[in-house]
Structure 1
Amino acid sequence: MLQLFKGSKTSPLVRTALSQQPSLEQAVAELTQQLAGIGQMDLALVFASSSYASDLPRLLPLLQKQLRCSHWLGACGGGVIGTNAAAAPQEIENGPAISLTLMRLPGAQLSPFQINLNQLPDLDGPREPWMEAVGADPEAGGAMLIWIDPASSGINDLISGLDYGYPAMAKLGGLAGQHSANHGGLFFADQVCSGAVGCVISGAYSLDPVVAQGCRPIGPVFEVAQAQRNVLLELRQGDALQNPLAALQGLIGELPSSDRELLRNALFVGLGKENFAMPNPSAPQVSPFLVRNLMGMDPRLGAIAVADRLRIGQQLQFQVRDGNSSRQELKDLLLLQQQRAEQPLAALLFACLGRGQGLYGEANVDVGLCRELFPDIPVAGLFCNGEIGPVAGSTQMHGYTASWAFLVASPKPTET
């Protein structure tokens, strides 16, 4: 178990830097220049694009020669999110980029960890081995940042095990980017590694999750009446039963032409994690659905294959994805976050490679929406091969999602 680290006793501070220099040495020089004179810090988050893949083992030692920080971790990705020297958040989807965020968090409890996915504890055993692997007390509250190497096996077991050991803790992060170098894509201490790395932040600070899945529902909420593993065979709506293709075809006739066009390339399935009453559609809501890819159809049986296991009685609703829907969903969720009494110190974004310009047709939309509502906070993060974030109380691996972690002061305990 790693030793628990308590943050420094001075005032809180979060500073970010961003470089797009093609040379690693030039990028490190630019980053350290932007952060000059910052002093001793508690936690460093490093996000680098895969353009530096062969140089990744040299990155942390170079940074640590210039900057003083107690804990270092992060990941390599297909793109990088950061705040530049002009204080403008940027989504760098292609080309070299390194984003560095340094945090000084007085009163925080920080528990960085590294996990070998080939030696995971037993999911059928006690919780304690999972707690020992992370090294944090579940009773202390807080939230978890986590990044996983995409070449690792046992990713789903890891996520399930972390929920088992820390059921009340939000977990946010993603899969690192793929690259051709003969080493992993994760950063921990002064090393590049594989498996999983992360940090639990508790005590005086925690992380608020905001998970924007980028889809909007169409049509009614159905109930899964018959399924085999991930193959949907029959849906129920009220007392009526029909195969899913028939239900979808009936739905198409009621849609506007713009939505019918979206169905060609942007049709998804939303799975209810628990049954619920339909909310007020005029108010911003956190979606109770987990959005999953539609993998294929069998016209002969009228069946649909979904990228997740199905259960009888589960609620299901078809979903479509487009830039306007994604933009509005994220804005609504950020408005909910803005209503918190405590303003965040920073925002971390772990976004799908399928978002960005490919979704919106323009750059910096996700970070721009954040900056509109939170004008002064630094923004950093990574474009991932899969995004980690909670839906309806359990941690999920997502696609096409923006998984946000807002660094906030923990509520002070009420006096009795």
Structure 2
Amino acid sequence: RAVLGASGTGVLTERGEAEGGPAVAVLVVRSDGPLLASPFLLADREAIDTGAGAELAERAAPAVAEGGCLLILPDAMSLDPHGLPRALADGLGPVPVLGGVAAGSPVFELYAADVATRALPALAVSGARPVVGVAQGCQPIGEPYVVTGGEGNVVRAIAGRRPLEVLREALRAVPDLERRVRQAGVFAGLAINPAKSPLERGDFLVRNLAGVDRETGALAVAEAVRIGQTIQFHIRDAQAAREDLEAMLDRVKAALAGRRPAFGLYFNCAGRGQGLYGVPGHDVTAIRRRLGDWPLVGFFGNGEFAPVGGRNFFHNYTGVLALFPES
């Protein structure tokens, strides 16, 4: 038996979503077939970083050697959100890493009969590879361009121009700009595979714009950016999030190829939900309408983990859906 869980700002099942108040969501899975689950716990960690990721990868590798995935529910207080998935990728290769970051007040994690903090509970699932969809809630604006100047996370030139000028040009092309920008956030999208053409939704790693230098026109991005990398700005609001979720569900439905999910997991960001859409239960309603009725559980967290373009990343503002089809 394996029991795994985490606190969140809300919880969800196939019946709906509960935010901002006491609630619990539980999914019980029994398998008489090939599906096996191996639990792990790294407790009382001052830093859930590359060291913790390397240790977890070493312990979990035998369980996912023949295929499967790794579910993680780390504590936000000690998490290195980029170092952890990087170390897991180094140790596990292409194995999908899925999960959400524990949230709420207080923040805690569940493992077996214990409640922990500053912990990294994990579950290595073997015998089945889930169908995964990532809805980043964003719409590309403007055109994709190549980064031609910068260092670290600071972009100093895009296609030989000042990045702030390129951003303003992209924003001017947004329909109903004044209303949408008032409600929206603007982000940088970094192409996962710049050789792909054309680049579409889901082809980018979406990151916050962390700062702007109005004198030089440079932009800081919450991710290291390389010269030669393809960048395209994105806008995030309720309209973009709805469209992106529907596009993700279309991709998941196609990948299921007629199979029915035995159960699913949905890791949603605390920045989505009713605060984004203005109505409760939006994402769960859309999932059921598009993919049918089957057991689903999840929570609203401080960040999400999922692969994009075959590589594992930490995300913000996303909805990550993992479906385990019936065998």
Q: Is the 8 A contact 2:58 2:91 kept in 1?
A: no
Distance in structure 1 (CA, Å) of the matches to 2:47 and 2:268: 28
Alignment match, 1:41? none
SS where residue 201 of structure 1 aligns? strand
Which of 205, 214, 227 is equivalent to 1:290?
A: 205
Alignment match, 2:120? 196
Unaligned runs of 5+ in 2: none
Counting aligned pairs with the same residue, the percent is 34
Distance in structure 2 (CA, Å) of the matches to 1:90 and 1:120: 32
| Bigger mean CA deviation after superposition, 205-214 or 306-315 | 205-214
Match for 1:148: what amino acid? P
Distance in structure 2 (CA, Å) of the matches to 1:132 and 1:396: 19
The answer to whether structure 1 residue 362 and structure 2 residue 279 are counterparts is yes
Question: How many residues end up aligned between the 2 structures?
Answer: 320
Change (3 A) 1:302 1:139: same
Change (3 A) 1:269 1:120: closer
Alignment match, 1:404? 321
Change (3 A) 1:135 1:255: closer
Alignment match, 1:72? 3
Alignment match, 1:24? none
Change (3 A) 1:293 1:144: same
Once the two structures are superposed, the pairs formed by residues 263-412 of structure 1 within 5 Å of their partners are 263-264=181-182, 265-279=184-198, 287-339=202-254, 340-341=256-257, 342-409=259-326
Alignment match, 2:26? 100
The Cα shift of 1:288 comes to 1.2
Alignment match, 2:97? 171
Q: Is the 8 A contact 1:78 1:178 kept in 2?
A: yes
Q: Is the 8 A contact 2:132 2:323 kept in 1?
A: yes
SS where residue 28 of structure 2 aligns? strand
Alignment match, 2:13? 82
Higher normalized contact order (CA 8 Å, seq sep 6+, divided by chain length): 2
The Cα shift of 1:118 comes to 5.0
Distance in structure 2 (CA, Å) of the matches to 1:338 and 1:267: 29
Which of 244, 250, 265 is equivalent to 2:169?
A: 250
Distance in structure 1 (CA, Å) of the matches to 2:80 and 2:240: 33
Q: Is the 8 A contact 2:8 2:299 kept in 1?
A: yes
SS where residue 71 of structure 1 aligns? coil
TM-score (norm 1): 0.72
Match for 2:148: what amino acid? A
**What's the RMSD between the two structures over aligned residues?**
2.3
The answer to whether structure 1 residue 156 and structure 2 residue 156 are counterparts is no
Alignment match, 1:223? 146
Alignment match, 2:180? 262
